[in-house]
Amino acid sequence: MADPASSDPQRTGDLDRDNTLLQAAAFAEHLQRSGVAFLPRANPDRVAEFKQRFAPSIPIAPATEKKAAVEQVAEEKILPKPPESRPESRPESRPESRPEFQSTSIRGEAAKRYPCEARPVSQRTAELDTLASTVAACTKCPELVHCRTQTVFGEGDPQARFVFFGEGPGADEDRTGRPFVGKAGQLLDKMIVACKLTRDEVYILNTVKCRPPGNRNPEPEEIENCRPFFESQLEIIRPQYIVCLGAVGTQALLRSKLPIGKLRGKFHRYFDSKVVATYHPAYLLRNPAAKKAAWADLQMMLKDAGISLR
């Protein structure tokens, strides 16, 4: 059926305006949550009212374009953006495991806030640098320390609105010290580009920072040893959205034992961040039929974030 909006210039103009306003509101909300000082403090009631007013009427993309985008990802026709250069070296020390956190459905009990106030970007960069040095010196997991070439801390924008949270380094990551640079990383790059984002405006990290030998899954104890590191990274960055890639990362972050098929398709909560669970790119490479579901998960997030794919 033809989209009535497409033949009505007045309505098309209204939708464009609404879309722009929604994106501006969502972005302003993110900046304020990130502690940007030049904006007035957000009034959550006004933001909610604004979203309520505009969101229901705004199509993220006309059905035909959505379908085309799904097919593009499914067929891997989206060109990958080349990986960005690695941020320079990072100095020393950082933290203990975070106190408690909340992992609920987004509709559940009101989420707890991140324990600390948002930091300015310079402080975030310094804290991440210090934490990376602590990670590089970590010897908690004897087998991993023995096998690793180097630790893989994570990289990206310390104020990222979107964080992608993987499982652990593979051979390419162990060699280069950067997350998601192998085959799975190339697919992740395509997924990021399909979201109208770039690799350097998101942040990418893993659950464990050392490569498990033979690409085995990290052991529960290894995940717990790394927990203070990934929890601190997330607390420093405090993204609006965390995309968990695969069961290992999702279950670790949400402290859930449910399979990924049960966790995907809805929002969860990690402190102030909304969590989207989806399939790991390595799984998608082996099971291309699951790309459609993964793209639906990302679209759910983009719609919530006010990012139009039109």
Exposed / middle / buried, residue 285 (Cβ in 10 Å: 0-12, 13-18, 19+): middle
Q: Which of 83, 156, 158, 168 binds ligand URA (CB under 6 A)?
A: 168
Cβ proximity to ligand URA: between 111 and 204 the closer is 204
Structure tokens at 38: 């030049």
**Alpha helices by DSSP H, the chain:** 9-33, 44-54, 63-74, 121-136, 142-147, 171-176, 183-194, 220-237, 247-254, 260-263, 281-286, 291-305
Phi, then psi, of 181 in degrees rounded to 5: -115, -5
Cβ proximity to ligand URA: between 60 and 204 the closer is 204
Q: Which of 184, 192, 236, 243 binds ligand URA (CB under 6 A)?
A: 184
Displacement of CA 121 from its chain's centroid (Å): 18
Cβ proximity to ligand URA: between 206 and 278 the closer is 206
Q: Which of 173, 174, 231, 297 binds ligand URA (CB under 6 A)?
A: 173
Q: Binding to ligand URA by residue 169, rule CB under 6 A? A: yes
Min separation Cβ 259 and ligand URA, Å = 17
Interaxial angle between packed helices 291-305 and 63-74, expressed in degrees from 0 to 180 and rounded to the nearest 10: 130
Instruction: Report the alpha-carbon distance of residue 42 to residue 26 in Å, rounded.
Output: 11
Q: Decide if 55 contacts 22 (C-beta within 8 A).
A: yes
Q: Which stretch binds ligand URA (CB under 6 A): 89-97, 142-150, 169-177, 291-299?
A: 169-177
Q: Binding to ligand URA by residue 162, rule CB under 6 A? A: no
Q: Binding to ligand URA by residue 83, rule CB under 6 A? A: no
Q: Binding to ligand URA by residue 156, rule CB under 6 A? A: no
Q: Which stretch binds ligand URA (CB under 6 A): 15-23, 63-71, 182-190, 296-304?
A: 182-190
Interaxial angle between packed helices 247-254 and 220-237, expressed in degrees from 0 to 180 and rounded to the nearest 10: 70
Residue whose CB is nearest to ligand URA in the complex, by number? 166
Q: Decide if 294 contacts 286 (C-beta within 8 A).
A: no
Q: Which of 129, 157, 167, 304 binds ligand URA (CB under 6 A)?
A: 167
Q: Which stretch binds ligand URA (CB under 6 A): 16-24, 66-74, 164-172, 229-237?
A: 164-172
Min separation Cβ 167 and ligand URA, Å = 3
Exposed / middle / buried, residue 306 (Cβ in 10 Å: 0-12, 13-18, 19+): buried
* Interacting residue ranges for ligand URA, rule: CB under 6 A: 166-170, 173, 179-180, 182, 184-185, 206, 282
